[in-house]
Amino acid sequence: MSADEVFRGGVAVVTGAGSGIGEGIARRAAALGMKLVLADIASDRIEAVAADIRAQGGEALPVQTDVSDSSALDRLADAAYDAYGEVTLLVNNAGIEMLGHVWEIPAATWDKALTINVLGVIHSVRAFAPRMLAAGKQAWIANLGSIGSFGMMPVQTPYIVSKHAVLSFSECLALEMELIGAPITVSCVLPGPVATRIFTDAPAGNNPSTVDKHRAIMAGMLKDHGLTPLQAGEIILDGIARGDFWVPTHPEMAEQAAAARAAYLTGEHRPKLAEEARAILA
């Protein structure tokens, strides 16, 4: 079935919906005929996205939400169910990037990255899943991992650690839904290069030269392989609608990363920096 057939008339909750991939998913979901609950810490951004969706004939409720606050996610769930009833699709997209050597990143910055990127996903599922299960109807939960969920990258450690955790959480969640026979499909979305604000907004450690070099690597990948958020949103919703667990925006890149990870693990190799990355970061 197409995404249009699967999702039309349903209700989607998207965290981090004020910009980037979250906004792209939200706009695509609205185009498919879904009612949207838009969550983001930046209220001005989701107000603007909601206004645009409404102007095009859709329905959208902006709810200012800090996903690092578990009680805020409980309030988000209350707002979604009060406004629209049963939630069809939950997309846990909100996330941030942190750059720098691990020993240069302040403790508070580490805490922020892991709380938003990992606990934000976990507590969102905790807030929504009981009511989705109680409805007893087909529903979907999609958690945003990354191509980085398969790999390793210096200077980007908090993000990579968090995205490995999101993948592991999604795998275990999918097994638990299977174990109880729930009609809820779990997906892990694996974005590659998408034109977002994540690196622009990323706090850095105390070594700006290294951080700038890393940003240059990411900018090069975006130039060569980048998608717009709306293009990514269409690919992502198509994959979720098919019931895929793995939902990459760049399938070939994801296959290469997964194969490299498998070879690394089965060979019990030492971590090794790619030569092209070494040449730029050194």
Q: What was the pLDDT predicted at 209?
A: 52
State yes or no: is 81 an active-site residue.
no
Residue 200 has a pLDDT of: 52
pLDDT of residue 199: 47
The set of residues, in sequence order, having a beta carbon less than 8 Å from that of 135 and lying 6+ positions away, is 86
Please name each of the domains of the chain with its CATH number: 3-281 (3.40.50.720)
d(CA 125, CA 135): 15
Residue pair 190/173 in contact (Cβ under 8 Å)? The answer is no
C-beta separation of 18 from 45 below 8 A = yes
pLDDT of residue 1: 82
* Residue closest to 25 by CA, chosen among 35, 33, 40, 14: 14
pLDDT at 204 (0 to 100): 52
Give pLDDT < 70 ranges for the chain: 197-225, 276-282
- pLDDT of 129 reads 98
Catalytic site residue from 81, 84, 159, 264: 159
Q: Give the pLDDT score at 276.
A: 62
Residue 96, pLDDT score? 96
Model pTM above 0.85: yes
The reported pLDDT for the residue numbered 52 is 98
List the 89-92 sheet strands across, edge first: 60-64, 35-40, 11-15, 89-92, 139-144, 184-190, 246-248
Q: Is the dihedral of CA 49, 126, 245, 139 positive or negative?
A: negative
Q: How far is CA 161 from the centre of its chain?
A: 14
For the chain, give the secondary structure using H, E and C. CCHHHHHCCCEEEEECCCCHHHHHHHHHHHHCCCEEEEEECCHHHHHHHHHHHHHCCCCEEEEECCCCCHHHHHHHHHHHHHHHCCCCEEEECCCCCCECCCCCCCHHHHHHHHHHHHHHHHHHHHHHHHHHHHHCCCEEEEEECCHHHHCCCCCCHHHHHHHHHHHHHHHHHHHHHHHCCCCEEEEEEECCCECCCCCCCCCECCCHHHHHHHHHHHHHHHHHHCECHHHHHHHHHHHHHHCCCEEECCHHHHHHHHHHHHHHHHCCCCCCCCHHHHHHHC
The length of the chain in residues reads 282
Residue-level pLDDT at 135: 97
